[in-house]
Amino acid sequence: MIDGYKKLDTSKIILITGGAGFIGFHLSKALLDKGMFIIGYDNLNDYYDVNLKYNRLDILKQYPAYTFIKDDLVNRESLINVFKKYHPNIVVNLGAQAGVRYSIENPYAYMQSNMVGFLNVLEACKKSNVDHIVYASSSSVYGANKKVPFSTEDKVDNPVSLYAATKKSNELMAYTYSHLYKIPSTGLRFFTVYGPYGRPDMAYFSFTQKIMKGEPIKVFNNGDMYRDFTYIDDILRGIENVLCNPPKEDENGVKYKIYNIGNNKPEKLMYFIAILEKCLGKEAKKEFLPMQAGDVYKTYADVTHLVKDFDFKPSTPIEEGLEKFVDWYKGYYNKEL
């Protein structure tokens, strides 16, 4: 464990960008339940069903300690004003344009949200002298790497999508600001996060929708792919561990750290589909297709540093996680499964 490990400090004010997103919603709710003051910041874009984002916000707005600001990270003045008004101690940057495949269709959206937006967050943190910035990176940064499991000590110089390139760039930008301005920063490489209130563009969600409608699902690389599926509750525990524990100075005097947060157990795509079919009680029609541009064959998280520093390892099996997702889906969409 980290020397002097600190539990959550309820006196801290936390700004969560992407606050109406999948992870942002769950993190906000978990922290509000623990008595923390949360500021959510989100542009509520229509990359996927906006109603889902508003429904998440309806839940969060029931908490007196929750404040929501609708604006874009690219709007630098708005962001600076939020920092001036609320003086956040900790910033969790989850705001970004998500999706690997969509980055091929709309690259400019990624450069604006993920690059310019993150620069604005870093500048605001610099001017406000925050205690800690925690930001979302991605398993996508490992790109074409052949060695598995993926370790944070591996080089990540071969991204195979613009999305991955922006996330790697975020890590470099964070390091630079940590070095120049002494801002403690922690990057979290998330591995295929899933669960209730998730993103409809993710495979498990879109598969569920199509299976229920009797429509075929697209199975890429003929099903020969592996993913380190990580249930949302494990992601939350990982984030909560790092929030009030900014990194110590490294050998260069920089307070900077990267962690993988993954289940440390890659599952074959066809097995994942079989479990989903079992939970739904319905077999999927399948359309087998070649590998998509920007996709990787296998993701597999080495969580050695997470275990060493926080005595924590994600462990929710997909059988349990998918059952919880299907139960939520059934209730949310009033589906008789």
The residues annotated with a catalytic role in the active site are: 163
- Please name the residues in contact with 271: beta carbons below 8 A apart, sequence gap of 6 or more: none
CA 44 vs. chain centroid, Å, equals 16
Q: Cα(165)–Cα(30) distance, rounded to whole angstroms?
A: 30
SS3 of residue 230 by DSSP: strand
Q: Cα(169)–Cα(110) distance, rounded to whole angstroms?
A: 12
CA 4 vs. chain centroid, Å, equals 27
Long-range contacts of 251-256 (CB under 8 A, 24+ apart): 252/179, 254/175, 254/178, 254/179, 255/178, 255/182, 255/183, 255/184, 255/185, 256/174, 256/175, 256/178, 256/179, 256/184, 256/185, 256/186
CB 45 within 8 A of CB 19: no
Q: Cα(136)–Cα(134) distance, rounded to whole angstroms?
A: 7
- For the chain, how many residues are written? 337
**DSSP conformation letters of 206-226:** HHHHHHHHTPPEEEEGGG--E
> Looking only at Cα atoms, what is the longest distance across the chain?
58
Q: Cα(122)–Cα(181) distance, rounded to whole angstroms?
A: 10
Distances (CA, A) of 133 to 129, 298, 314: 10, 29, 22
Q: Give the number of other Cβ atoms within 10 Å of residue 15's Cβ.
A: 29
